[in-house]
Chain A
Amino acid sequence: MITFEDVTKFYPGQDRPALRNINLEIAKGEFVFLVGQSGSGKSTFLRLILREYRPSKGTLYVAGKNLSTLNQWKVPALRRQIGTVFQDFRLLPGKTVYENVAFALQVIGKPSKVIRKLVPETLELVGLQGKEQRLNEELSGGEQQRVAIARAFVNRPKILIADEPTGNLDPETSVGIMKLLDRINRSDTTVIMATHDSTIVDQMRRRVLELRQGELVRDQAKGVYGAN
């Protein structure tokens, strides 16, 4: 699903690369934790997959596309296959739960018949049935993150990227979110989650990628947060 071949990313005006010579492959349906300190390159890693940047060197394949040569105008089509969730939810204020999720389908031109079917289905999946008409300001943090996950997943993407999805949530709520991500992963969606939450990583026992100063220092199946 995702292949990094010797990928290096420099930012303009910086001597040290944000990512250096990354080689790895993430298969379809895998669940991967991305760990490392702030500034270790996690965000760059995720943004390369989203094709917000191009690799400076090396080749990156996502969903069968070579992102280095992917045409600018094909980027939206790529992003329709990737759902994204952030620490700060990024919901639209003044819109209801339903509207926030439907927005993601409206703006890619889905017919309203499809929207009317997919949005309630997805809201049920994330456990928000009955709260469709609530404004997101009225929701708890956990519920807001569920809305964000519903929005990311409503188009049934092949890949779900989660950048610190539990960073603003208490441990109990985080467990709920992780269960949800796990359920999504079981529906054959590749999940890549950047996190600082050692408890979650240690409990889930999934593949762990650790970045340190832009280099991949650990790639461990059924791994833990901190290596010994």
Chain B
Amino acid sequence: MRHSLRETWSGLRRNLAMTIAVIVTTSVSLTLFGFGLLTSQEVDLVKARWYDKIEISVFLCTERTTGGTCEEGKPTTDAQREAIKSALEANPEVQEVFYESKAEAFAEFQRVFKDSPILASRTEEQMQDSFRIKLVNPENYQGVVSEAQGLQGIQNVQDLRGVLDPVFSTLNALKWGTIGMSLLLLLAAALQISTTIRMAAFTRRREIGIMRLVGASNFYILLPFLLESLIAALIGVLIAGGALVATYFLVVDRTARAALPALPWVGPSHILLTVGVIAAVGILLSIIPTLLATRKYLRI
């Protein structure tokens, strides 16, 4: 064991430049990969909260509303309300229609902006009754939107998808961009580790030959190389994990959560999961190329 540790240490020192290169590549690629994972979890969180719940909101008229098919100063009548409801329900694209009253809307508003100064800016009277429509196929929202816009007593038809789509496409681009870039870098890191270990094994090929000859086990021969790449990868994981945790506290916890309280944000459990995943990736990233690179020297 002492022999293995000594060999590992001398290997790390001998290849110091390459080891540093491996650590840098590994940490940068794993950090990016972690960002990609966090972005992806954030997108899922936001989607779960907003996107899948509400499809189309049909806001009804009140005394003060203008625009749409509202009559000046008159709220939507009960007859209009019934007509809207049955018209929407008759549409084959519509799966379900919910009715949300002013009071319910205000309660949701209070819940969402609980700790925010925005809370005081509205009263229940300013809220509107609305129909919330769930579609059979959320992609085909245009027909329902234009039908609703033609009905009497409707102030505004809001398709939340239209609002959120650009946000999500930006987030998705960010997610795939970081994951894609990180995969390229991870590939580079794997090749770098494999080259480093191949070089180290070549430098020590005489020792390896003799070890095999006198009956050292493969594990014993492999151990210094495994430890060498594992140590480099683990340092990379530590750096990447530190970067992710720091980003979380500085950007999400301190800034974003306060600025956009309406959105759900990734929390410590997501960070933990992400760090766990990059640690696993980092370990595999070091072990697999090492095993492949030394295979030639260990064939009995």
Contact = CB atoms under 8 A, between A and B. Distances in A.
B90 interface: no
A107 B216 contact: yes
A92 B207 contact: yes
24 contacts: A50-B213, A72-B300, A73-B218, A75-B215, A76-B216, A78-B215, A80-B215, A84-B213, A90-B209, A92-B206, A92-B207, A92-B210, A104-B210, A104-B214, A107-B211, A107-B214, A107-B216, A107-B221, A108-B216, A108-B220, A109-B220, A151-B210, A152-B214, A155-B214
Interface string B186-230: 000000000000000000001101111111111011000000000
Interface of B: 3, 206-207, 209-218, 220-221, 300
A79 interface: yes
A109 B220 CA distance: 9
Given A50-B213, A51-B300, A84-B213, 16 more contacts: A52-B300, A72-B300, A73-B217, A76-B217, A76-B218, A79-B215, A90-B209, A92-B206, A92-B210, A104-B210, A107-B216, A107-B220, A108-B214, A108-B215, A151-B210, A155-B214
B300 A106 contact: no
Question: Chain B: interface secondary structure?
Answer: helix
A192 to B, nearest CB: 15
B8 to A, nearest CB: 14
Interface of A: 50-52, 72-73, 75-84, 90, 92-93, 103-104, 106-109, 151-152, 155
Contacts of B210: 90, 92, 103-104, 107, 151
B206 A77 contact: no
A197 B210 CA distance: 26
B214 A151 contact: yes
A106 B215 contact: no
Q: Which of A51, A83, A104, A155 has the most CB of B within 10 A?
A: A104
A214 B211 CA distance: 29
Contacts of B209: 90
A80 B220 contact: no
A76 B214 CA distance: 8
Contacts of B212: 76, 79
A80 B215 CA distance: 5
A159 to B, nearest CB: 12
Which are the 7 A-B pairs with shortest beta-carbon distances?
A79-B215, A80-B215, A107-B216, A76-B215, A104-B214, A107-B211, A76-B217
A50 B214 CA distance: 10
Contacts of A72: 300
Nearest to B217: A76
Nearest to A103: B210
Q: Which of A83, A109, A151 has the most CB of B within 10 A?
A: A109
Given A92-B207, A107-B3, A109-B220, A80 B214 contact: yes
Contacts of A81: 215
Nearest to B1: A109
A163 to B, nearest CB: 11
A77 B215 CA distance: 6
B44 to A, nearest CB: 45
Q: Which of B212, B213, B214, B220 has the most CB of A within 10 A?
A: B214
Contact of B300 (A75, A92, A109): A75
Nearest to B210: A90
A151 B216 CA distance: 14
Contacts of B213: 50, 79, 84, 90
Contacts of A103: 207, 210
A78 B216 CA distance: 10
Given A107-B220, A109-B220, A79 B207 contact: no
A78 B214 CA distance: 9
A168 to B, nearest CB: 17
A104 B220 CA distance: 13
Contacts of B220: 107-109
A68 to B, nearest CB: 14
Contacts of A107: 3, 210-211, 214, 216, 220-221
Contacts of B300: 51-52, 72, 75
Contacts of A108: 214-217, 220
Nearest to A84: B213
A92 B3 CA distance: 15
Nearest to B213: A84
Nearest to B3: A106
A79 B218 CA distance: 12
Contacts of B211: 107
Contacts of A51: 300
A113 to B, nearest CB: 13
